[in-house]
């Protein structure tokens, strides 16, 4: 495990860092002032979604993504590779890019490494991700190798293309693929390191593989990456997984878990997850989490939060999301403090049984 800082033109990101997901230029149910007050130092948005709607050229004309969404801090943009993989059932992968149909209206598009860089530069990203081919699970070794080779080719093209946008300087991260094959992960890492990216991500995990196998790949791959560059584990935010990955030396995380769970009524507390729709909370006048200092916990009872959720009130999504994001960002703050004080092992030991404690939903 380690502490670090990522310096961007719009601010410093203290690591290990959690990046709340604002896929379409918004963290669902939250405004940007609230995100700042919660202590978020960086937000994640997505190339695929913003390309389709409203369009990167429109956002550029309006002054860039930061101005468009009124966020002054750093923004990392995902390249769209995973979204093409997960949202488009009709896609054709070729050497020069991916043809896919929009999940919005069925229109046909062709996304290339060069276009992915053009979009992210137009958005004004602080950290951009190379365009990759996300290897599914299960995948044969032959498929994983072909996917890896394609990702390497595209990474090189992204590196070459981004040079044209130095008037809007951004940091470019390469993405390690290779499926669940250790030797392919090693090959991918070595090929990307030779290209000298600003940071390195581990992609293609948490796509259906057993958790033990995911941990094996994290612990194998992370030490292969440069110690003086940020290491980003993409799309993984279960806090038990975070503890494993931080112990391995990962610096950056993103996940929709806190926001998506909040909208579904699942809330994270210092005693484990709870489902706020449970009957037991109908007359519960206590705070959601007595150990939490967020606005939701200081002002509202479990009974009220349940009432809002059962009535599908918009305020339910807002209060639940605010709490879950506070919990996540506070967890990362406490984890950084523990690492700084040489107490990460104790921190992990204390939190593991709590994070494993989930109440069953009705």
- Give the active site residues: 78, 254
Contact 328, 41 (CB under 8 A): no
Cis ω before 16 (30° cut-off from 0) = yes
Cα separation, 79 vs 46, whole angstroms: 7
Closest to 134 in 3D by CA, of 117, 153, 151? 151
- Read off the tokens for 358: 């989930």
> Coil, strand, or helix at residue 361?
coil
Query: CA-CA distance, 169 to 124, in Å (whole number)?
Result: 8
Q: Report the alpha-carbon distance of residue 78 to residue 81 in Å, rounded.
A: 8
CA distances (Å), 251 to each of 21, 175, 352, in order?
16, 14, 19
- Residue 100 burial class via C-beta count within 10 angstroms: exposed 0-12, middle 13-18, buried 19 and up: buried
Q: Is the dihedral of CA 47, 49, 50, 52 positive or negative?
A: positive
């Amino acid at each position: 495990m380690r502490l670090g800082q990522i310096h961007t033109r719009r601010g410093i990101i203290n690591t290990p860092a959690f990046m709340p997901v604002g896929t379409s230029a918004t963290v669902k149910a939250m405004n940007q002032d609230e995100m700042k007050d919660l202590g978020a130092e960086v937000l994640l948005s997505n190339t695929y979604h913003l390309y389709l709607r409203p369009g990167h050229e429109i956002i550029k004309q309006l002054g860039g993504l930061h101005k468009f969404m009124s966020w002054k801090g750093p923004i990392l943009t995902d390249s769209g590779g995973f979204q093409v993989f997960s949202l488009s059932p009709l896609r054709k992968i070729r050497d020069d890019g991916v043809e896919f149909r929009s999940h919005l209206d069925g229109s046909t598009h062709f996304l290339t490494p060069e276009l992915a860089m053009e979009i992210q530069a137009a958005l004004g990203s602080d950290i951009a991700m190379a365009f990759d081919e996300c290897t599914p699970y299960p995948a044969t070794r032959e498929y994983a190798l072909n996917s890896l080779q394609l990702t390497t080719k595209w990474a090189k093209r992204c590196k070459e293309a981004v040079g044209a946008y130095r008037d809007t300087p951004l940091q470019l991260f390469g993405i390690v693929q290779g499926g669940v094959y250790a030797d392919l992960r090693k090959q991918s890492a070595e090929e990307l390191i030779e290209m000298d990216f600003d940071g390195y991500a581990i992609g293609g995990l948490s796509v259906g593989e057993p958790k033990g196998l995911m941990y094996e790949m994290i612990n194998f791959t992370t030490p292969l990456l440069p110690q003086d560059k940020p290491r980003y584990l993409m799309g993984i935010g279960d806090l038990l997984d975070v503890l494993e990955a931080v112990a391995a030396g990962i610096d950056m995380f993103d996940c929709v878990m806190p926001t998506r769970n909040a909208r579904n009524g699942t809330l994270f507390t210092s005693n484990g997850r709870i489902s706020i729709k449970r009957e037991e909370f109908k007359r519960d006048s206590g705070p959601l989490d007595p150990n939490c200092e967020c606005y939701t916990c200081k002002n509202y009872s479990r009974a009220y939060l349940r009432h809002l959720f059962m009535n599908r009130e918009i305020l339910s999504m807002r209060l639940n999301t605010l709490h879950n994001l506070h919990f996540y960002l506070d967890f990362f703050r406490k984890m950084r403090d523990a690492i700084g004080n040489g107490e990460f092992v104790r921190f992990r030991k204390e939190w593991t049984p709590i994070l494993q404690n989930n109440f069953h939903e009705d």
